[in-house]
């Protein structure tokens, strides 16, 4: 081993990688088609699976005749729910939010009854994809129809039809968080009784479809009693555990691989019936099996998101100090409880107070069964719904008080010097400065000029009116401290793991438990490791998404990967350095305490010119000819990180919107946002994440809605009807950042993966309302289609399909505003 002479004079500190807008390493292979998506997999003797799906929303299966399909050319087998009844178990739900939550169970293939259009009733296994697809038509299923339960407010009434006739109610659970009872706030009822002003609203947060680019796809290869599954999933690690539990295939006999995955947005945070069935079929037939959904199947049968009816009451003083918040929601579970279906609204429960200092807060949620496809995580999962409600009602309160909406917010939000701040929901917000972010966002927007233009248009009765809407948001992400998840009855922890392998030639393999599917972890983790170990960015390879390669992991969702998984990587790197230090001390014949480590090199303090790089040490321990006696010949290291708190990114989003009062067309004139995501590892990725999130959040406000007809058919069953916007439908985004370092992780980062999606929706709706409120419009139901806007303008109400007046399921008024009285207008606990 030679010790390199390295005159200090020649040393130039390399530019830090963290903070560099590196283009993503992974993009070259992704955008040039040089990767293997699950559907590209071809295995010798591979069979193809297609799924026969229910065309009815609710019914008993009277008879299934598969004889014609079985005789079709190329068909190898046709299996029904009865055929697999012994082995298929139930699709797992890992988040029983209350002890008495009712779970109807969910067979991967329906056995006796179907509960939503698109539910699997049989599978066909054939030698080719086309043979499997063609035989679908040949399976003859007789259904005894039952009335579908489709409307949540009807479903919770006593006399309602039942979604599952073996359960005597459509309510799965009733979840309550009461700050008074939790000791984190005062008495909410008292706050409302004492209020000068109470504003009550009913908001509809419509059903959405995650609409990932790569459809769901799975390939299973049996090898004796071992199985390898490739799946377009966000959660190979969780999936493996769950499949082992559901099917009885021993966990150590099952390898799950998530190859490159083309988006998920929470929609692939799931244990899919088709994954279970493909595994069972491969086990039964002893042959590889592939299933890839069509786009229509994806829209119809992959889980949906959002779908809440929210009754929100806010209490305040006449001067504009908020004194109480009361939220009651109906959350549509769909027909079954999937992996985290019940937990989505429960997670949101803690975010309704937003960034405001409410002294009292009560939240109640009913998880309601309907004969629709189950809901589950969709980008933000519970937090966009909560943010929408609070940011909408703050605007309504401002109108009621005759205050500027921003002024009302400023008056009530947490001040920068008050961090860390424990909210009325019991969360400890870590750091931030809402004033500065807001100021910057206003400047980016050109706020003063746009307000002036708005005034001019109003005065001249311009048919095109202009409005400006805000959303000053925070969110809890970086999921999550395991103990907190445990206290919320979630079935797993929130840690993440990493390993660093120092290869003999000095190259570095980083194994991460996170599972990127568009977020660029290969690039960002390389930047972290390059800085930490002082090795070139190009010398780092990041491995992920294969339980045989990365055996431990909690996967990617909840904007957790950098904060939790990135921290595990940094901690593993620190352990590598600590191990290497012992070897370096030995080789440099120095005391460990006398060594400095920077830019990838150990130097002996006071002895300039003597240096040993960590890459040289990797070779030394590989040869293992000369290393200290009390250490092992390896500097590789593992780390597992469990955060002590969530991270709380925040930001101010401002939208300027034109509304054509003659046609109802809306157009985003300008969109500006300033987000604080703590330390930014890669500004290019962060900007991309914000843009993607904005696209989805704006799409909820303006374009997207999963619509069912009166029989329970999904009428938005293709991209012709379900309007995912293209780049051409979206405005230019003016984005900026403030940086308040997160104290809970050594990187100082907060998550960004969901921020744009959480923040943007209310800003857009608030902007549209700001444009037309003077014309008598109080609400417009999302998405703000031209028809809805026009109807709200010309016929009142919210332009949606509900009556303009009347009482909601809880006996409260739908859009009640009460100024100057001390009695709350929305009474909870009506007809349930």
- The binding site for ligand MCN (CB under 6 A) comprises 212, 263-266, 379, 517-521, 524, 556-563, 677-682, 685-686, 689, 692, 749-754
Which residue, 754 or 779, has its beta carbon nearer to ligand MCN? 754
Name which of 724, 95, 752, 758 is nearest 376 in CA terms. 95
Q: How far is the CB of 500 from ligand MCN (least distance, A)?
A: 17
Evaluate whether 320 touches 408 at the Cβ level (below 8 Å).
Answer: yes
Which residue, 18 or 136, has its beta carbon nearer to ligand MCN? 18
Q: How far is the CB of 730 from ligand MCN (least distance, A)?
A: 16
Q: How far is the CB of 680 from ligand MCN (least distance, A)?
A: 5
Q: How far is the CB of 380 from ligand MCN (least distance, A)?
A: 7
List phi, psi (to 5°) of 416.
Answer: -60, -35
Q: How far is the CB of 58 from ligand MCN (least distance, A)?
A: 31
Question: Interhelix angle for 273-285 vs 236-247, to 10°?
Answer: 60
Q: How far is the CB of 497 from ligand MCN (least distance, A)?
A: 14
Structure-token pair, residue 818: 């009460």
Which residue, 246 or 695, has its beta carbon nearer to ligand MCN? 695
Which residue, 50 or 497, has its beta carbon nearer to ligand MCN? 497
Q: How far is the CB of 67 from ligand MCN (least distance, A)?
A: 42
Which residue, 753 or 783, has its beta carbon nearer to ligand MCN? 753
Q: Rounded CA gap, 53 and 300, in Å?
A: 10
Which residue, 374 or 797, has its beta carbon nearer to ligand MCN? 374
Which residue, 547 or 559, has its beta carbon nearer to ligand MCN? 559
Show the 3-state SS of 530-588. HHHHCCCHHHEEEECCECCCCCCCCCCCCCCHHHHHHHHHHHHHHHHHHHHHHHHHHHC
Q: How far is the CB of 239 from ligand MCN (least distance, A)?
A: 16
Q: Rounded CA gap, 600 and 571, in Å?
A: 16
Which residue, 260 or 636, has its beta carbon nearer to ligand MCN? 260
Which residue, 332 or 376, has its beta carbon nearer to ligand MCN? 376
- How far, CA to CA in Å, does 411 sit from each of 394, 433, 607, 651? 11, 14, 59, 17
Q: How far is the CB of 524 from ligand MCN (least distance, A)?
A: 3
Q: Rounded CA gap, 497 and 606, in Å?
A: 37
Evaluate whether 725 touches 749 at the Cβ level (below 8 Å).
Answer: no
Which residue, 506 or 558, has its beta carbon nearer to ligand MCN? 558
Evaluate whether 269 touches 235 at the Cβ level (below 8 Å).
Answer: yes
Name which of 303, 319, 271, 385 is nearest 119 in CA terms. 303
Say if residue 537 is exposed, middle or buried (CB neighbours under 10 Å; 0-12, 13-18, 19+). Answer: middle
Angle 351-356-358 from CA coordinates, rounded to 5°? 90
Question: Interhelix angle for 755-772 vs 683-702, to 10°?
Answer: 40
Which residue, 235 or 337, has its beta carbon nearer to ligand MCN? 235
Q: How far is the CB of 482 from ligand MCN (least distance, A)?
A: 16
Structure-token pair, residue 164: 């599952």
Residue ranges of alpha helices (H) inside 32-128 are 67-70
Which residue, 235 or 784, has its beta carbon nearer to ligand MCN? 235
Q: Rounded CA gap, 474 and 67, in Å?
A: 57
Q: How far is the CB of 337 from ligand MCN (least distance, A)?
A: 20
Q: How far is the CB of 473 from ligand MCN (least distance, A)?
A: 15
Which residue, 191 or 563, has its beta carbon nearer to ligand MCN? 563
How is 139-197 classified by DSSP, letter by letter? -EEEEEE-PPP--HHHHTSTTPPPSSTTSS-SEEEEEEEEHHHHTSS--HHHHHHH-SE
Q: How far is the CB of 650 from ligand MCN (least distance, A)?
A: 12
Check residue 31 and report its DSSP letter: H
Q: Rounded CA gap, 297 and 319, in Å?
A: 53
How is 347-400 classified by DSSP, letter by letter? HHTTTTTTTB--S-EEEEEEEEE-SSPPB---TTTTHHHHHHHHHHHHHHHHHH
Unique residue bearing structure tokens 């045989």:
548
Which residue, 680 or 765, has its beta carbon nearer to ligand MCN? 680
Question: Interhelix angle for 755-772 vs 786-795, to 10°?
Answer: 40
Evaluate whether 758 touches 652 at the Cβ level (below 8 Å).
Answer: no
Q: How far is the CB of 514 from ligand MCN (least distance, A)?
A: 6
Q: How far is the CB of 622 from ligand MCN (least distance, A)?
A: 30
Q: How far is the CB of 226 from ligand MCN (least distance, A)?
A: 30
Q: Rounded CA gap, 527 and 25, in Å?
A: 11
Q: How far is the CB of 543 from ligand MCN (least distance, A)?
A: 16
Handedness of CA 121, 126, 129, 135 (dihedral sign): negative
**E strand or H helix that includes residue 276:** helix 273-285
Which residue, 25 or 521, has its beta carbon nearer to ligand MCN? 521
User: How many alpha carbons lie under 13 Å from residue 74 in its C-beta half-sphere?
Assistant: 18
Evaluate whether 350 touches 426 at the Cβ level (below 8 Å).
Answer: yes
Which residue, 517 or 653, has its beta carbon nearer to ligand MCN? 517
Name which of 761, 775, 800, 788 is nearest 666 in CA terms. 788
Which residue, 324 or 651, has its beta carbon nearer to ligand MCN? 651
């Amino acid at each position: 081993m030679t010790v390199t002479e390295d005159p200090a004079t020649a040393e130039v500190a390399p530019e830090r990688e963290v903070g560099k807008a590196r283009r993503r390493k992974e993009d070259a292979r992704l955008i040039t088609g040089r990767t293997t998506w699950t559907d590209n997999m071809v295995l010798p003797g591979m069979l193809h699976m297609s799924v026969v799906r229910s065309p009815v929303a609710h019914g008993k299966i009277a008879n299934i005749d598969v004889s014609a399909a079985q005789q079709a050319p190329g068909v190898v087998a046709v299996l029904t729910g009865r055929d697999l009844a012994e082995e298929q178990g139930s699709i797992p739900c890992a988040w029983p939010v209350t002890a008495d939550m009712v779970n109807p169970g969910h067979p991967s293939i329906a056995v006796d009854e179907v509960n939503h259009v698109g539910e699997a009733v049989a599978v066909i296994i054939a030698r080719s994809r086309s043979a499997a697809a063609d035989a679908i038509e040949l399976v003859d299923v007789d259904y005894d129809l039952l009335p579908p339960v489709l409307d949540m407010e009807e479903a919770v009434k006593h006399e309602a039809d039942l979604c599952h006739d073996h359960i005597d109610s459509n309510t799965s659970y009733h979840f309550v968080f009461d700050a008074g009872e939790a000791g984190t706030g005062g008495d909410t009822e008292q706050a409302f009784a004492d209020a000068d002003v109470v504003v009550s609203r009913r908001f509809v947060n419509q059903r959405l479809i995650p609409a990932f680019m790569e459809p769901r796809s799975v390939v299973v290869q049996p090898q004796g009693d071992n199985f390898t599954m490739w799946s377009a999933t966000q959660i190979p690690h969780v999936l493996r555990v769950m499949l082992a539990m559901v099917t009885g295939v021993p966990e150590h006999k099952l390898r799950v691989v998530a190859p490159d995955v083309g988006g998920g947005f929470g929609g692939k945070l799931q244990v899919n019936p088709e994954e279970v069935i493909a595994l069972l079929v491969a086990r039964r037939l002893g042959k590889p099996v592939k299933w890839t959904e069509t786009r229509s199947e994806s829209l119809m049968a992959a889980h949906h998101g959002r779908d809440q009816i929210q009754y929100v009451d806010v209490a305040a003083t006449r001067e504009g100090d908020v004194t109480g918040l009361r939220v009651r929601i109906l959350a549509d579970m769909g027909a079954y409880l999937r992996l985290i279906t019940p937990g989505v609204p429960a997670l949101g429960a803690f975010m309704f107070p937003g960034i405001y200092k409410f002294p009292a807060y009560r939240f109640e949620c009913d998880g309601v069964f309907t004969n629709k496809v189950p809901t589950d995580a969709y980008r933000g999962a519970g937090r966009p719904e909560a943010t929408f409600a609070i940011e909408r009602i703050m605007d309504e309160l401002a109108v009621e008080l005759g205050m500027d909406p921003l002024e009302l917010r400023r008056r009530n939000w947490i001040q920068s010097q008050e961090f860390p701040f424990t909210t009325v929901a019991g969360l400890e917000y870590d750091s931030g400065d809402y004033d500065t972010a807001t100021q910057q966002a206003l400047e980016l927007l050109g706020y003063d000029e746009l307000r002036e233009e708005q005034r001019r248009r109003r005065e001249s009765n311009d048919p095109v009116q202009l409005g400006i809407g805000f959303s000053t948001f925070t969110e809890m992400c970086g999921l999550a401290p395991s103990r907190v998840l445990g206290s919320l009855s979630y079935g797993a922890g929130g840690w993440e793991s990493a390993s660093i392998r120092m290869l003999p030639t000095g190259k570095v393999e980083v194994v991460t438990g996170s599972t990127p599917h568009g977020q660029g972890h290969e690039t960002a983790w390389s930047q972290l490791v390059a800085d930490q170990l002082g090795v070139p960015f190009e010398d780092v390879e990041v491995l992920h998404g294969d339980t045989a390669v990365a055996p431990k992991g909690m996967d990617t969702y909840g904007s957790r990967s950098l904060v939790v998984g990135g921290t595990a990587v940094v901690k593993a790197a620190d352990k590598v350095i600590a191990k290497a230090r012992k070897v370096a001390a030995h080789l440099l014949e120095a005391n460990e305490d006398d060594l400095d480590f920077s830019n990838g090199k150990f130097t002996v303090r006071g002895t300039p010119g003597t240096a040993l790089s960590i890459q040289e040490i990797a070779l030394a321990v590989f040869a293992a000819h000369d290393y200290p006696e009390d250490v092992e010949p390896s500097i590789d290291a593992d780390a597992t990180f469990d955060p002590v708190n969530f991270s709380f990114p925040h930001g101010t989003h401002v939208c300027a919107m034109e509304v054509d009062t003659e046609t109802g067309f809306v157009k985003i004139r300008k969109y500006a946002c300033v987000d604080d995501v703590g330390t930014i590892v890669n500004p290019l990725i962060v900007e991309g994440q914000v843009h993607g999130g904005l696209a989805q959040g704006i799409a909820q406000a303006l374009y997207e809605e999963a619509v069912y007809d009166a029989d329970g058919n999904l009428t938005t069953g293709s991209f012709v009807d379900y309007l995912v916007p293209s780049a051409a439908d979206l405005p230019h985004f003016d984005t900026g950042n403030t940086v308040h370092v997160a104290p809970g992780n050594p990187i100082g980062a907060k998550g960004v993966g969901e921020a744009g999606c959480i923040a943007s929706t209310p800003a857009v709706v608030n902007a549209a309302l700001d444009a037309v409120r003077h014309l008598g419009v109080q609400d417009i139901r999302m998405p703000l289609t031209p028809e809805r806007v026009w109807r709200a303008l010309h016929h009142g109400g919210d332009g949606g399909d509900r009556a303009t007046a009347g009482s909601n399921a809880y006996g409260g008024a739908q859009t009640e505003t009460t100024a100057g009285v001390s009695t709350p207008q929305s009474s909870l606990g009506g007809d349930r």
